[in-house]
Structure 1
């Protein structure tokens, strides 16, 4: 099957790189508004990673990174002092290419072996007197957040971070004992994306291919002088490749999804975003919880396969699998672009100069088999309180011919002396991954009383709309303490209630 692609100016006289989904589509004259026709279009806003780090739970110990640093100048700090609980801190300086003070990020929960991911799995936890209270929640529940102007309290030696991430280890819930932090070069608060695509400038150099460079800039920026955030791809920086994206049935048991013929360097450098949901409507991070039901799946990579393990009833999984290899060049004589047939289809690749032959994953900037992630909608929602807590927020989207996905974080206020789940501090704001929580208390006088936690949020994805739900103002958790009577009911609230949602609706050609 032939492939249609173009390097040069298009119908707007804009320099660009375009690869079409179908050979019948004209890369020069197809309007950019017809997003579903493009596998790659350097005029679109896309995503770039800033960094990824894995940190296992190390037991009752303190470890500072880099070696030789201390409480006053660490980039990463692992702290544990009792049982199966620990704390993990990153200053923003740990992610050296980060361009935003508060970024979009996620924390993926893993087992101690750093192989098994806990995805959108809903798990029950008992709490309080005689286990007469319980709640169901998702792994992000215990995440603290990316904090601004944070000063700790209650440490033997307190410390401050102007910007940084705090995360908690709790190996009793989900059995988690390893964290994988993924940080994207996109804002996680009410800040505009830096250097968005501008109006094309006729005659401007937006694609530069030489023996030293292979790079393309966004419209309105000269590729020869553009900063990293003004470029779409650049041979001096490794870009993340989307090597698989799908929505599949997830029966009880094990499901193996083959990722295809991966290049050298891909295995071992894979990570994924996985949404597990029930029914025919996509919800993230999980369906609205309304019954005593555990569901979901864990996943891991086995060679060139994504393996999902579902111990519960039938569900569905929507996922994007990424690969990123930051290896240095090994030398070779490949041209900066390469055309070939992989046995099933024609392929075009853009490579860094001097790529090995055949190229490794780290040599590849663009591959027509791996479509770009388009941002089809992004923005910020101001969340205000309401008497009953429940509110809905609609975001129209045009996902015609696209495979939609959602990423978002919740934005919270700050305070003084705030209890952040095992440690305290002062902060001006925090941003955290979304979670859902549903629970009950069971007083002897009334029997079970069910509730949705006030910190819960979720997004419903349908054709033409992303709809967000919040529950600010409701108790975040309830339990019985000291006895089974209604008089022993304890209600907790968020010390820094949600004030906003920073969202990104992604699209990949279906």
Structure 2
């Protein structure tokens, strides 16, 4: 793929760095709000970052970081697979309040398994996403007819087969604990962009900060951090039992993580109320994505392939830091070895860097419906910018005040729904549906525990 880029001052004298998704897009005249046309745009200074990838041991309650216990953990994974984060301790440990994605993975090859048991009391710990089921054959109370939801739920049952383990991805955003943006306009005279091999600098500053003296959190790109990176995105429908191999058409690093999202009634969605058995495998082999539909019905899924693995940055290299050659733009960490690992590649025109286009927190009182009532769920509809590609949507619920089930400040990661013949729910379940045509996301919360929570969300645009 050939691209175009720009490093310099725009027509107003403001410094910027742009990498376009195609050579036909003019970096100077393309509006910043054409999110999908920019692989990277320093004027969209709100990006997401990944600070930790945690692989949890199977079937035991575990605390993080190492050495923590039930009284001082930052994160914990219970034996059934429920993952929680304690907000105050997370701020002390990370310096920010993360939203954490939760997936199930084979740590030997990063194959993602998405699975659901189908017994009558099939508790739904570790829910992942919901997919559209193209069949109406599910009619028994063991599935969902009592709740009139014919959509499959993608999830992970606690008894998943070895070697699959729970995996948590700790995300970071350029905002304070109250989700107020930290970025500020650039100041004339400050160094905005610096590449210095001798000093080991490779930085694009976030705003009114000199890149030569900035720390990582003050930069969009820094030799010690890079924005969350996607190498491929798309959607597909699989027939019952089908194995589908998708040629991604780009160089996919070893260990990249497939990120599967479902659909409901044609709209991208997380998960919803009790539903039937479900099994999907997704893995990367070479430059191909393989998705296996283990169900007796046709399904539709969305996918993103994250350029992220657990390899640490390399050292000892002495090559170029900034490449601009034959329609390619690449920025490496100073000292990166050859070939570089994903953590060494700070920017590359082959990759897609996903800007934050909406974020915030919503108090429980702003959701419609009655607190403490399980049906119907309480909802909040958010208007988002018009997006050509399905976005990445990250959410969490933060408990306010302790009770028998949660500590004060606990953040529920992918809060869960338990189903039975009577549609019993776990406390503080949440899910969402993205309506691309209406440019809205409807967030739903089942708060049988009553009020006393804050809903947090981030919406990331995915470039072409």
TM-score by length of 1: 0.71
Which residue, 130, 136, 159 being the options, matches 1:172?
159
Which residue, 432, 446, 452 being the options, matches 1:459?
432
Unpaired runs of at least 5, structure 1: 127-133, 142-168, 421-426, 442-448, 474-493
Structure 2 matches for 1:14-413, cutoff 5 A? 14-44=14-44, 45-57=46-58, 98-100=94-96, 102-110=97-105, 115-119=110-114, 121-126=115-120, 134-135=121-122, 137=124, 139-140=126-127, 171-172=158-159, 178-186=165-173, 191-193=178-180, 195-196=182-183, 198-211=184-197, 212-237=200-225, 240-252=228-240, 253-262=242-251, 266-268=253-255, 270-284=256-270, 286=271, 288-289=272-273, 292-295=275-278, 297-312=280-295, 313-324=297-308, 326-341=311-326, 346-384=327-365, 386=370, 388-413=375-400
Q: Cα distance, 1:89 vs. partner?
A: 8.7
| Mapped partners of 1:104, 1:94: distance in 2 | 10
| Mapped partners of 1:382, 1:327: distance in 2 | 38
| Mapped partners of 2:63, 2:425: distance in 1 | 38
Query: Which residue of 1 is the match for residue 151 of structure 2?
Result: none
| Mapped partners of 2:293, 2:377: distance in 1 | 31
1:265-291 deviation line (CA, Å, top 9, x unaligned):
x313x224321234411111x2x336x
1:48-94 deviation line (CA, Å, top 9, x unaligned):
111112132387x999975xx585999799999xxx76998988989
SS in 2 for 1:415: coil
- The structure having more radius of gyration, on CA atoms, is 1
CA contact (8 A) 1:258 1:305 kept: yes
Q: Cα distance, 1:333 vs. partner?
A: 4.2
Q: Cα distance, 1:324 vs. partner?
A: 3.0
Q: Cα distance, 1:12 vs. partner?
A: 3.5
Q: Cα distance, 1:16 vs. partner?
A: 1.9
| Mapped partners of 1:468, 1:91: distance in 2 | 22
**Are positions 1:3 and 2:9 aligned together?**
no
Q: Cα distance, 1:507 vs. partner?
A: 0.7
| Mapped partners of 2:423, 2:213: distance in 1 | 59
More strand per residue? 1
Q: Structure 1 residues 203 and 394 mapped into 2: Cα distance closer, same or farther (>3 Å)? A: same
Q: Structure 1 residues 108 and 176 mapped into 2: Cα distance closer, same or farther (>3 Å)? A: farther
1:327-376 deviation line (CA, Å, top 9, x unaligned):
343444432221345xxxx3211122344445443331111111111111
TM-score by length of 2: 0.77
After TM superposition, the structure 1 stretch with the greater mean CA deviation from structure 2, 406-415 or 107-116, is: 107-116
Q: Cα distance, 1:28 vs. partner?
A: 2.7
| Mapped partners of 1:76, 1:455: distance in 2 | 20
| Mapped partners of 1:49, 1:112: distance in 2 | 18
| Mapped partners of 1:383, 1:2: distance in 2 | 47
SS in 2 for 1:300: strand
Q: Structure 1 residues 122 and 189 mapped into 2: Cα distance closer, same or farther (>3 Å)? A: farther
Aligned-residue RMSD, C-alpha: 3.8
1:239-259 deviation line (CA, Å, top 9, x unaligned):
543112222223333222344
Q: Structure 1 residues 96 and 371 mapped into 2: Cα distance closer, same or farther (>3 Å)? A: farther
CA contact (8 A) 2:220 2:227 kept: no
SS in 2 for 1:428: coil
| Mapped partners of 1:450, 1:22: distance in 2 | 49
Query: Which residue of 1 is the match for residue 446 of structure 2?
Result: 471
| Mapped partners of 2:68, 2:124: distance in 1 | 35
